[in-house]
Amino acid sequence: MDVNQIIINNLLAKFEQIKSRMLSVINQLSDEDINWRPNGESNSISNLVIHIAGNIHQRIESGICGLSDKRNRDEEFNSNNVLSKKEAVEIIENNFKILDETIKNLSYEDY
C-alpha cells in the first residue's frame, strides 16, 4: 500500500471515530438536553453541531470541491438555533458522508 492510501485510510478512520463519538453522545440525550446552555455566553450542543457542519461546508465543499461559500459563521452560534435530536443526527450523518466521499475521491494531485 502506498503512503497516499495510508494517509487517506487514516483520515477516514479518524473521521469515522469522531462521527461515532458525536452520535454516541447525542443518542444519550433528549431534544431539551442538546439545546441546553449553561449560561448566555455558552453554546448548546445544537450550536456546535451547526458549527461543525459550517466548517465542513467551508473547508471541504468550498475549499476542496469548489462550491460557493455560503457560510455565516456568526449565525452558527445564535442562541435561537434549536435542533431536534433527529435533526442533529441527520446533520452529522450528512456532513460526515460529504467528508468521507471527498476524502475517498482525493488523488495525489489534490494534495
- Helix and strand counts by DSSP (H, E) for the chain: 5, 0
14: confidence class by pLDDT, cuts 50, 70, 90: very high
Report whether pLDDT(99) > 80: yes
Query: What range does the domain containing 81 cover?
Result: 3-110
Q: CA–CA separation, 37 vs 59, rounded Å?
A: 27
Closest CA to 97 of 51, 57, 62, 45: 57
Total number of domains constituting the chain: 1
For residues 59-63, average pLDDT: 94
Specify the pLDDT at position 3. Answer: 84
For residues 66-85, average pLDDT: 95
User: How long a stretch of residues is the chain?
Assistant: 111
Report whether pLDDT(56) > 90: yes
111: confidence class by pLDDT, cuts 50, 70, 90: low
